[in-house]
Structure 1
């Protein structure tokens, strides 16, 4: 789940407005026509298309007469997309993170009850990716692996509304993230190393079905950082508004 470029986000928003202006099932045009309309490269438009499909706004049909079509949105998709109307102000993104933090314990409860051995193995692969990013001193890769881990935990929940709502919040946070910068007195490398250990221990607790330890780690995860910064201040890798990520346009 790579970081989303500002151009891809703007292209997605332009096509989304077009899709919302016509009845569901309407043909919007070919990929090439819409790419030229947005004035972006093929790679950037493919990135925008990924966002549009993830948000349930368009469908793609191959062959003659194919192209992009406006999608029928379920109430759950409309609910999630309402969060994507947030602008790029750090305070708005911080609110999305605050809601995400409040949902974390619910998803951990579900994972404690429903995670299969295959689910745990999947979570460990994301933790390993985080470890590799720490070793490579690559904070951007660390953030990406971290978000993938949180999305994977959400996917375990049998509550489709909760899981969809949470992943839409992650989408908001990711789509408003531009880059990673050092912040505070603690070296960024030390900080992400500490966060890797915290997430590794959380997955271990899920594997053991250790509810007390899992909940303690979630509490530490969501309270270990400082106060919300101003929109122009550096932001935190996991919590925009608190330390190391800067919001994109």
Structure 2
């Protein structure tokens, strides 16, 4: 005879059904995604939405506020205004993740360690999936970095571009989102990190080595090249900016 689990209607909490405003918000998200509505597309106005969902204005406004905080829509004011489609971006996740990391006491070193684990994996995937045009664009990125080696702002921008291109070539939207989010949290330009000319040249050389590995289709070599690059970057930050890497992550919005 099997033992009783002891699970009864009285031993568990009641499952809260979703609020009407939450249900409406989900239905609007499904409508936007299922119909592939482009960013900037105007949704029906408040009067029309109230009729479509057969709800009150207060409930509708609560649903729209929920979507606005999630980055799904923007609310335009004035005549002809109303809800407009907005596609969520990695920066939207950055805000939430940064706050979570701050409350858990995470440091910039923790973020750099996460990138050290993530970026070589993406480079390995990219080596198996990258096409000729993506390789060419990465090589152009390296060229631009070298051509603007005396310009700190241009160097930092091109560094961001390069890593985004590798993430895109990996062909995983999930990894791309996480990479973009972590990269934006550990943004050297925002934090005031300065790269000397020799260091900029070393970064460009590391990028070229990664591109060569990607172009060869050798996943192992691509992973190792990216891992070495990320380790060198982390070591540079820790050596030159120890107070920066050891401090806790801060919400800077």
Question: TM-score, normalising length from structure 2?
Answer: 0.58
Among 59, 68, 73, the residue aligned to 2:73 = 59
Larger Rg belongs to: 2
Relative distance call for 1:67 and 1:123 in structure 2 (3 A) is: farther
The corresponding residue for 2:245 is 241
Number of residues of Structure 1 aligned to a counterpart in Structure 2: 185
Relative distance call for 1:77 and 1:132 in structure 2 (3 A) is: closer
Say whether residues 1:196 and 2:204 are aligned partners: yes
Normalized per residue, the structure richer in helix is 2
Where does 1:156-195 land on structure 2 (aligned, <5 Å)?
A: 156-174=169-187, 177-181=190-194, 188-195=196-203
SS at match of 2:245: coil
The corresponding residue for 2:128 is 113
SS at match of 2:64: coil
* Contact 1:154/1:163 (8 A) holds in 2: yes
Cα distance in structure 1, aligned partners of 2:87 and 2:135: 34
Say whether residues 1:102 and 2:117 are aligned partners: yes
CA-to-aligned-CA distance 1:82-120 (integer Å, 9 cap, x gap): 323245xx9633322221111012101110111011111
Question: TM-score, normalising length from structure 1?
Answer: 0.58
* Contact 2:119/2:227 (8 A) holds in 1: no
* Contact 2:125/2:219 (8 A) holds in 1: no
Cα distance in structure 2, aligned partners of 1:93 and 1:69: 36
Where does 1:11-90 land on structure 2 (aligned, <5 Å)?
A: 23-26=62-65, 57=71, 59-60=73-74, 64-66=79-81, 81-85=95-99, 86=101
Normalized per residue, the structure richer in strand is 1
RMSD of aligned residue pairs (Cα, Å): 4.2
Relative distance call for 1:228 and 1:142 in structure 2 (3 A) is: closer
Cα distance in structure 1, aligned partners of 2:197 and 2:191: 19
Relative distance call for 1:159 and 1:65 in structure 2 (3 A) is: same
Relative distance call for 1:141 and 1:68 in structure 2 (3 A) is: farther
Cα distance in structure 1, aligned partners of 2:205 and 2:95: 33
Superposed displacement of residue 155, structure 1: 1.2
